[in-house]
Structure 1
Amino acid sequence: MFTDIQIARRSALSLSKTLMVPTVVIAVGPQFAVICADEVDPEDVVVNQFDPFA
């Protein structure tokens, strides 16, 4: 979990490029989390998406 959106975005981008999987940053209350794009639930609030193939 991250409290700073910039750190969460950088981590998501790095993870996406390293693992070659789409990642997303989601808001969880006042914090942010990075997960794989295929694990997003409909009720999750997506802040950013990163696709290493785009």
Structure 2
Amino acid sequence: MFNDVMLARRSALSLSRNLMVITLVIAIGTQYAVITEEDRDANLQIVAEFDPFG
């Protein structure tokens, strides 16, 4: 979990490039988390999406 959205975005971008998977930054209350596209759920509030192929 991250308290700073910019730190979460940088981590998601780095993870996306290293693993070559789509990553998402999601908001959970006042914090942020990074998950992969395959863990996406319709109830999540997505803040940013990073696609290494795009």
State the TM-score bracket (shorter-chain normalisation): over 0.9
Q: CA RMSD in A?
A: 0.4
TM-score normalised by the chain length of structure 1: 0.98
Q: Return the TM-score normalized by structure 2.
A: 0.98
The aligned length equals: 54
Question: Which ranges of structure 1 fall in alignment gaps of 5 or more residues?
Answer: none
Q: Match of 1:47?
A: 47
Query: Identity across aligned pairs (percent)?
Result: 56
Q: Which runs of 4+ in 1 moved over 4 A?
A: none
Specify every segment of 5 or more residues in structure 2 that has no aligned partner in the other structure, as ranges: none
